Amino acid sequence: MQIIISTVIVSFVVAFVLGVLLGVFQKIFAVKVDERVVKIREVLPGINCGGCGFPGCDGFAEACVKDGVPAKGCVAGGAKVKEAIAQIMASNNA
């Protein structure tokens, strides 16, 4: 019984410490991302289907902003997503 408890405690403590450390380092090494990328990523379906030809939704959001890939590229999202992306791109360019 004791070994089960110590197993759980040790695993938890190690995982917790590493998690906190990672959180801290993420703040230290934070990279400034274009906020449009974050916004577009939020409106995308987030299923990483790869239908657009980019590696996942993150890849598509970045390509949208950086390389001007058309909003209709997101096959799974359909008209609704296209509209939302267009709005985000328009609002920040103006």
- Report if residue 6 touches another protein, rule: CB under 8 A: yes
- Report if residue 79 touches another protein, rule: CB under 8 A: no
Shortest gap between Cβ of 66 and another protein (angstroms)? Answer: 11
DSSP secondary structure string for all residues of 22-70? HHHHHHHT-----HHHHHHHHHS------TTSSSHHHHHHHHHHHS---
- Report if residue 92 touches another protein, rule: CB under 8 A: no
Integer Cα distance of 50 and 32 in angstroms: 25
Provide the terminal-to-terminal Cα distance of the chain, rounded to the nearest Å: 65
- Report if residue 1 touches another protein, rule: CB under 8 A: no
Subset of 23-52 contacting another protein (CB under 8 A): 25-26, 28-31
Integer Cα distance of 73 and 12 in angstroms: 43
- Report if residue 21 touches another protein, rule: CB under 8 A: yes
Residues of the shown chain interacting with another protein in the complex, contacts defined by CB under 8 A: 3, 6-7, 10-11, 14-15, 18-19, 21-22, 25-26, 28-31, 55
